[in-house]
Every structure is written in C-alpha cells, then in structure tokens.
Amino acid sequence: MSDNHDDDHDHELRVSKIRNGTVIDHVRGGQALNVLAILGIDGSQDEEVSVGINVPSDRLARKDIVKVEGRELSQEEVDVLSLIAPDATINIVRDYEVASKHRVERPEEVEGVLTCPNATCITTENEPVTSRFDVLEDGVRCSYCETIVRDEIADLIDSS
C-alpha cells in the first residue's frame, strides 16, 4: 500500500474556519469582488477575509465564497447583496459553529444604497432626495426616473 492521498481529497477547497463572523456562500461565480465592494472591504481595514472564486459547486456549477471574520452583516447589506447574489446563503458563525443560516431574500425595493446612473434623475441633481429602486426579477428600476439597470448593479452602490 502506498501513502498517497486520494486524488479527490487533494482537490478539495481548503479555507480555514472562522471563529466569529459571516460566511457568504453560493455567490454566482465571478461576483466575490462585487460582494467585497458592497461590504466596503478594500484591504484598508484590518478585517480578515477569505475569498474563493470560481470554486466547484453542485448547485451552481461554479461559485464564489466570501468569509469575513469578526463581522455580522446588517439586513441592509444582505438586501444589497441579494441584488448581485440572489442564490447566496448567509451563515453567521459564532465560536466556530454556524449559529444561523439563511438564503438571501430579494426585497421589493432598496432605498439609499444605490446611485441612479441617469444624470438627470432628481436623486443626482443635488436635491435632498434619497435614491429608491424597485427590485425587478433581472435588475433594478429607479422609482423616480424609471431608469432600469440589469448589469453592473455593483457599480451603482453608494459608498458615501
């Protein structure tokens, strides 16, 4: 008998467990960097983050995974995540154990988290109007000017 490891075992995803924080699983392949943008994670803080991009998945063929140590997501953050990762699962981890697990649910609307790309929209003309978007099956629609955005929703995230 040889001491070789089973080939399948050598191809497993090896990412360390987190003690406390959030694991965002089943993110569509290639969207992990947008997830980080939504969460305001750019490497400038001391947040410990693990990211898996385009890893094999039974449910999605390819998926991304984001693990954020020491941070539990707010409902507002989860609502925005649902726009670019509608299949995501949010796992809250406490003392290395999953304390809660749920799928994201797309809200009917999001307010104050996206910037309308229409330069003539009332929300972008220095008016004290908070942006509001209706969530569609395949994108978002500005509640004021009715501009529809299907792609690049992550680019509209208001980081102020």
Binding residues for Zn(2+): 116, 121, 142, 145
Annotated binding site: 116, 121, 142, 145
Q: Look at residue 3 and give its three-state secondary structure.
A: coil
Q: Reduce the secondary structure of 51-107 to three states and give it as a string.
A: EEEEEEECCCEEEEEEEEECCCCCHHHHHHHHHHCCCCEEEEEECCEEEEEEECCCC
Q: From CA 132, how far away is CA 111, in angstroms rounded? A: 4
What residue type is 20 in one-letter code? N
How many Cα atoms are found within 13 Å in the side-chain-facing hemisphere of 47? 20
